[in-house]
Amino acid sequence: MLLLMQSRGRVTAAELAGELEVSVATARRDLEALSAAGVPVYAQPGRRGGWSLLGGARTDLSGLSQSEAQALFLLVGPAAATSGQARAALRKLVRALPQTFRAEAEAAAGATLVDSARWGEPERHRPEIVDRLQEAVVRRRKVRLSYRSGSREDSVRIVDPWGLVDKDDVWYLIAGTEKGRRTFRVERIVTAESTDEAADLPADFDLEKAWEQIVGEMEERRSRTWATILIRADFVRILRTHFGRHCHVEAELADGRTRVRLGAPTPLDIARQLAGWGALAEVVEPPPVREELTRIGGELVTAYREESGGG
């Protein structure tokens, strides 16, 4: 309402009701509530009357610059394609923007489409349990979780939900527990029930910084073993798709090959990734990775030699 009054100067309760998709009675009640709360809005009776901000007062919500408005709608636009609430909010916000911003804001909202399905895979949908957890985070309510660990062990615990993270369509809940901060993989949460008990949130908690720390810890665990290999330079980009940030080019060699460092949790994890390359990838060190490759090769020879009748 404040944004509309600011951009248009004077509006009637009926106009506000139409723009915000509420009843006229609700619009009048909310206007009166704004006035009672100390916001300088006033009504002018008569045929050309309506509601205005006293003396051209402005609300901080209107401080959007044109570039900020575009950035906001670029961000919200893709979400509006799958969320009725986001679409409704977007419509209302567009109407509340200054006239000069509207065309570009609407164009920005439709400039990007997010297709969450990978090639050859069905469309992925946001888990319903995420909505319940998100509501608990916003309302700051403790949650009773039934959680299944990676080893298939079930447990029930009450946690303080601090924030949610979507990492490549895998959702994580960061929460406070009796043992401190913990990270829960949402797909392993069997049930989540919000309670009436207020959640504790550290005053200095920052979701982005907390996630950066968690990612650092995870990546450190994922790179406990490092191997040096020699491979043709044009294959390095493929290795990067498998090892991500744990693939480091060390040097270009005269024979056209590249020396690359690869990291993974165990020697077996590296060997499994490299086994399919055969002699194209030469492991220089460490010995445990070479030993795992030898073992895998031996298993394959044995298995397929038996199938072919020992020929």
Encode pLDDT of 83-122 as tens digits.
777 777 777 777 777 666 777 777 877 777 666 666 777 7
Q: Decide if pLDDT at 219 tops 90.
A: no
Q: Supply 154's token pair.
A: 């079930």
Assign 60 a pLDDT band (cuts: 50, 70, 90).
very low
Phi, psi of 88 (to 5 degrees): -65, -45
pLDDT at 308: 59
198: which strand partners?
141
Encode pLDDT of 235-278 as tens digits.
999 999 888 888 999 999 999 999 999 999 899 999 999 999 99
Residue 73: how many CB atoms within 10 A of its CB? 24
CB 181 within 8 A of CB 174: yes
Close Cβ partners of 5 (under 8 Å, ≥ 6 residues apart): 11, 41, 51, 52, 53
Closest CA to 163 of 212, 195, 213, 205: 205
CB 186 within 8 A of CB 171: yes
Domains, the chain, with CATH or none: 2-61 (1.10.10.10), 64-109 (no CATH), 128-205 (2.30.30.520), 223-307 (3.30.70)
Element (H, E) at 232: strand 225-232
Element (H, E) at 91: helix 84-96
The per-residue pLDDT of the chain, averaged, comes to 84
Q: Supply 181's token pair.
A: 């901060």
CB 70 within 8 A of CB 104: yes
Q: Decide if pLDDT at 199 tops 90.
A: yes
Assign 209 a pLDDT band (cuts: 50, 70, 90).
very high
Give mean pLDDT, residues 54-61: 53
pLDDT at 107: 81
Q: Decide if pLDDT at 81 tops 80.
A: no
Phi, psi of 155 (to 5 degrees): -145, 155
Between CA 108 and CA 112, with CA 109 as vertex, the angle to 5 degrees is 80
147, burial (CB in 10 Å: exposed 0-12, middle 13-18, buried 19+): buried
DSSP 131-178: HHHHHHHHHTEEEEEEEE-TTS-EEEEEEEEEEEEEETTEEEEEEEET
Q: Decide if pLDDT at 311 tops 90.
A: no
Angstrom distance (rounded) from CA 276 to CA 215: 29
Phi, psi of 267 (to 5 degrees): -55, -35
